């Protein structure tokens, strides 16, 4: 199961249900995918085929939705 947290600007932000316990979010779009750690700060964990401008845009979206993502994580994994 991989619940979607939100979709914006062609990106889907989601979790994988059976993965490591460190708080993170996955992002996918038509061009590729990435994984970002959320704690202790937003940090790129993995990037597959996304350009630097796309990664910058994704990071801005994660910053804008950071509280929402963390709440969704706690709700889903509690």
Q: Please name the residues in contact with 49: beta carbons below 8 A apart, sequence gap of 6 or more.
A: 31, 32, 33
CA distance 15 to 3: 6
Using DSSP, state whether 34 is helix, strand or coil.
Answer: strand
pLDDT score of 49: 98
Across residues 4-22, what is the average pLDDT?
93
pLDDT score of 23: 94
- Map out the domains of the chain as residue ranges: 4-77
pLDDT score of 78: 85
CA atoms within 13 A on the CB side of 40: 0
pLDDT tens digits, 14-60: 998 788 889 999 999 999 999 999 999 999 999 999 999 999 999 99
Residue 50 is given by DSSP the state -
Closest CA to 70 of 5, 4, 1: 5
């Amino acid at each position: 199961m991989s619940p979607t947290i939100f979709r914006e600007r062609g990106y889907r932000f989601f979790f994988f249900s059976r993965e490591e316990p460190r708080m993170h979010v996955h992002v996918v779009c038509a061009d590729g995918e990435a994984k970002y750690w959320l704690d202790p700060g937003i940090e790129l964990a993995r990037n597959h085929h996304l350009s630097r401008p796309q990664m910058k845009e994704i990071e801005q979206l994660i910053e804008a939705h950071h509280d929402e993502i963390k709440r969704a994580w706690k709700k889903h994994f509690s």
